[in-house]
Amino acid sequence: MMKETREKRAVGRRAARAGAWAVVKRALKPIPVVGTVVSVGLAGHEMRKKGVLRGAAHVGLDLLPVVGTAKAVVELFMGDLIPDKKPAAG
């Protein structure tokens, strides 16, 4: 019984950390210089998650000063404008 409770807490903590990181990432992107650094740092991750073309478009838009800031603000409220690629079947 005690072991199950610990495992549930550990899963909850991991989920909270992942959610907090997503919020921090979205909050940092609208800041001009910091947003550019975050976008470049996460370019590989975004390209793996979205595919090469969609990922490159996503990062390219984030790097443009005014467009990237506007996109980040819209994404704070609406979620990703460029969807992730579909998971491979099987």
The pLDDT tens digits for 23-66 are 777 777 667 677 778 888 889 988 999 999 999 999 999 888 88
DSSP state of 44: H
86 within some domain? no
84 within some domain? no
36 within some domain? yes
| Number of structural domains in the chain | 1
Separation CA 47–CA 55 (nearest Å): 4
Is the confidence at residue 11, as pLDDT, over 70? no
Q: 8 CB contacts (<8 Å, ≥6 apart)?
A: none
Helical residues (DSSP H) of the chain, grouped into ranges? 2-28, 32-41, 43-50, 52-63, 65-78
State the amino acid at position 51 in one-letter form. Answer: G
Is the confidence at residue 79, as pLDDT, over 70? yes
The pTM for the full model equals 0.63
**What pLDDT sits at residue 7?**
65
DSSP state of 89: P
90 within some domain? no
End-to-end CA distance of the chain: 35
Find the domain containing 14 and state its range. 2-78
